[in-house]
Amino acid sequence: MTAVDYKKLEKQYYIPKTKPEIIQIPKMKFLMVDGKGNPNTSKEYSEALEILYGLSYAIKMTKMSGNTPEGYFDYVVLPLEGLWWTENEEFKGEGFLNKDNFLWTSMIRQPDFVTSEVLEKAKEVLLKKKPQLDISKVRLVEFEEGLCAQILHLGPYDDEPATIAQLVDFVNESGYVEDFEIRKHHEIYLGDPRKTKPENLKTVIRHPVKK
C-alpha cells in the first residue's frame, strides 16, 4: 500500500494559499517538547528536534520490528511545527529583536494509532541509538487548536512580519479578533532550512481567532 501522506490528504491544513483564510482545526495527536531560547543557537532547541524526529521515525518503523501496533498503517512522517510566545509580553509573531526570550513548544503530529504504549516502545528504540538524549521532555498530547486564521509564508523566517501583518489585517476586516489568551502563534515548517534556500522556504502561519 502507498504510505498515507497527510500533507496531501489534508491539504487544507498543510498547504494553504498565500491569501489568508479562516479555518477550524480539529483535534490531532502530537509529540511535544517545551523549551526556551533562540532556535538558531539553542542546544535545547536542537535537542528537542532530535528527540521529536527520532521518536517519530522510530514509531513509523515499528512495522519492521515484528511488533506492529494495533491499527498501524504506513505513513509519511509529518512536518515539524512550533508554538511560540514570550513570558513578559504578548507575542504575535512580529517581534524578532531578541529571540533568546522565546518560549516554544516544538511538535510533530502523529497518526491516531499512536498511544502512550507505542511511545514508550519508541523511546526504548531511540535510547539504544542515542542514550544521551533526555526523552523525559517529550509528551503525547491530543491538541485541538480550534478556530484560526492562517496563511502560507514564502521566504526567509525573518521576513514573516510582513506576512503576519497581512494576516492580522484580514482577521480584523473579517469580523474576528485574535485570541492569544491561551493559544499561541503557530508555525508549520514545510521546508528544511538546512537544504532549502531561504527564499524558497514555505511556512504555514496560524493565529487563533474568535468572533
Parse the chain into domains and list their residue ranges: 6-210
pTM: 0.95
pLDDT of residue 70: 93
Per-residue pLDDT of the chain (211 residues; tens, 9 = 90+): 699 999 999 999 999 999 999 999 999 999 999 999 999 999 999 999 999 999 999 999 998 877 899 999 999 999 999 999 988 766 666 655 688 889 999 999 999 999 999 999 999 999 999 999 999 999 999 999 999 999 999 999 989 999 999 999 999 999 999 999 899 999 999 988 888 999 999 999 999 999 9
pLDDT of residue 146: 98
Measured CA to CA, the distance from residue 46 to residue 42 in angstroms comes to 7
Which residues have a Cβ under 8 Å from the Cβ of 12 and sit 6 or more positions away? Answer: 23
Measured CA to CA, the distance from residue 94 to residue 122 in angstroms comes to 37
Q: In terms of C-beta density within 10 A (0-12 exposed, 13-18 middle, 19 or more buried), how is residue 27 classed?
A: exposed
Please check whether the domain covering 6-210 is classified as CATH 3.20.80.10: yes
Residues linked to residue 204 through DSSP beta bridges, in sequence order? 152, 188
Q: In terms of C-beta density within 10 A (0-12 exposed, 13-18 middle, 19 or more buried), how is residue 207 classed?
A: buried
Which letter, b or e, does each residue of 28-51 get, where b requires 16 or more Cβ atoms within 10 Å of its Cβ?
A: bbbbbbebebebeebebbebbebb
pLDDT of residue 93: 67
pLDDT of residue 94: 65
- The amino acid at 65: S
pLDDT of residue 193: 84
- The amino acid at 145: E
Measured CA to CA, the distance from residue 59 to residue 141 in angstroms comes to 15
C-alpha cell at 95: 517581534
pLDDT of residue 107: 98
Measured CA to CA, the distance from residue 176 to residue 40 in angstroms comes to 33
Measured CA to CA, the distance from residue 1 to residue 189 in angstroms comes to 27
